[in-house]
Amino acid sequence: MYTGWLDKSAKDYTEQGLKRVLVTYAVARGLNGLISVAQGTEVSVEPVGIGMTFTPGQILDPVNDLIEQFSWLVLASGVSLGIQRLLIVMTGSTGFTILVSVMVAGALAACWWQKIPETVSRVITRIAVILLVLRLVIPVIALLNQAVYWYFLQPQYESSQTVLEQSGFQLQQQQPVKTISAPPQNEAMMDKLKRAYQSATDAVDIDARLDRIKQVASNMSERILDLMVVFLVQSLLFPLLFIWLAYRLLMQLLRLT
């Protein structure tokens, strides 16, 4: 408590967590922008003389909605980590440490000095217990959360993050931008055959692109769900669990006083 090692380690963890949040949020917003561009892209082809217009980006609409929800979860995780960091700074400050030391010394003196009324002694002891638990539990919660991340969540986070970053490049490569213009009125037969062949080739290419976009969308959805689990567990679920356990411990200690 007095060396500052516990507070420094807990603060380092929260800062690492905030960096992960910022990186993931930037990737999510970048994917959102790419999908928005893809959704507005139209491609026209004329296989066997029939004009057809495709909007391949519409396949990504469900993924775009999922990314929007994921972005909000990442922001909530960032807020949670920011609150944890603020509490670590507050409880690790010199003033708070001195206050805890004074109250603990007062509680010990009240137990030994029989002239102090029992009610006053009990109040001082309970305040000392509450402050001491706050002083120790908040950084310990951060370290326990970091241990959970290292041993259980880090591989899932890193692999999913890598796949999402690669998905952005894959989406850029799959953007179909070629549009077939209308044929001239006095077109030669050979030119018509060439244009028909090119249109058929473009139609097949669009089908292949659609398949690849579907595969990218499937991979993105799976990895986004994995990351949602990571952030939900790391920044919300486990901190609440540890806080509940700390509360139960505090209640037991207060009953003893």
Q: Write the pLDDT tens digit of every residue in 90-136.
A: 999 999 999 999 999 999 988 888 778 888 889 999 999 999 999 99
How far, in Å, CA of 218 to CA of 220, rounded? 5
Q: Which residue has the higher pLDDT, 61 or 199?
A: 61
Structure tokens at 78: 């960032």
Q: Which residue has the higher pLDDT, 67 or 34?
A: 67
Structure tokens at 167: 């998905």
Residue 45 forms beta bridges with which residues?
A: 52
Range among 38-47, 182-191, 216-225 rated most confident: 216-225
How far, in Å, CA of 42 to CA of 206, rounded? 11
How far, in Å, CA of 77 to CA of 228, rounded? 10
Of all residues in the chain, what percent carry a pLDDT higher than 70?
A: 78
Question: Which residues, in sequence order, are CB contacts of 169 under 8 Å at separation 6+?
Answer: none
Buried b (16+ CB within 10 A) or exposed e, 8-40: eebbebbeebbebbeebbebbeebbebbeebbe
Q: Do the beta carbons of residue 96 and residue 135 sit within 8 Å? A: yes
pTM of the model: 0.79
